[in-house]
Amino acid sequence: MLDTSVSLLERIASHSQDKDWDRLLSIYRPFIDNQVRRYPQLIDQADDISQEIAMVLVRELPQFQRQRDGSFRVWLRQVAVNQIRNASRKQKGQPIPIGDSPTLDEQLDELSNPASIAAKRWDDEHDREVLRRVIEIVREEVNPIHWHAFQAHVLEGKSADLVSQEMGITINLVHLAKSRITKRMQSEVKGLIGS
C-alpha cells in the first residue's frame, strides 16, 4: 500500500519511482485521450498526440512547482494545447470549418484562456475523471469489506448504524473504513484536483 502522507505529485518530484509514474498515467491517460479525440480533424493522430503529452509529463513534471489548487490541471491543459497545436501544424491540408464553426486554432485559443467556457469544461471534466479513476484504483487496493462499508456509508449516504446492521460488522469498523479510505483518496488526489 502507498504512503498516504505524501501526494502522488510530491512522490514523483522527490524520488520518481516507476510505480508512481504508472499510477499517474493510469489516472491521466484516459482523460487525455478523451480530450484529444474532441478534435475530429486530428483523430488519426490522437494516439500520437496523447503519447506526446504523456512524454512531456514524464520529462517536465519532476520540475513542476504547484502554486495553488488547480495549478497542475492548468499546466496540463496548456501542455495539451501545445501538443495539439504542434500536431496541427504538421498536418497538411487542414479541413475548412463549415459555417460558423471555429477553426482548430480558435478552439485552442479558447481552451488556453482560463476564463473561457472551454477551460471551465476541461477543469470540470478533469476533476470528475481524475476522481473517478482514483476511486477505481483505491477500490482495487483496499479490503473489500472496508470498501463496501465505505461505499454504503459515504457514497450511498446510508447511516453507519444501518451499514453495520446490513453488513454484520461493528459501527466502529464502518467509521474506520470511512476515515482510512477518505484519507487515502485525499492523498491520491492532492495537487491533482481542487479541495
pLDDT digits (tens, 9 = 90+) for 153-195: 999 999 999 999 999 999 999 999 999 999 988 888 877 776 5
* Cβ-based neighbours of 102, under 8 Å, separated by 6 or more: 110
53-90 residue pLDDT tens:
999 988 888 777 766 666 788 899 999 999 999 988 88
Q: Crossing angle, helix 71-90 and helix 104-112, to 10 degrees?
A: 160
Q: Does the pLDDT value for residue 3 go beyond 50? A: no
Residue 151: pLDDT band (50, 70, 90) is very high
Give pLDDT, residue 57.
87
Give pLDDT, residue 1.
34
Q: Does the pLDDT value for residue 31 go beyond 60? A: yes
Give pLDDT, residue 42.
87
* Cβ-based neighbours of 85, under 8 Å, separated by 6 or more: 105, 108
**Three cell numbers at 166?**
446490513
Asked whether the whole model's pTM tops 0.95, one would answer no
Give pLDDT, residue 98.
54
Q: Does the pLDDT value for residue 38 go beyond 80? A: yes
Residue 2: pLDDT band (50, 70, 90) is very low
Give pLDDT, residue 85.
92
CA distances from 119 to 76, 114, 123, 189 (A): 11, 5, 6, 20
90-137 residue pLDDT tens:
876 555 555 567 788 899 999 999 999 999 999 999 989 989 998 998
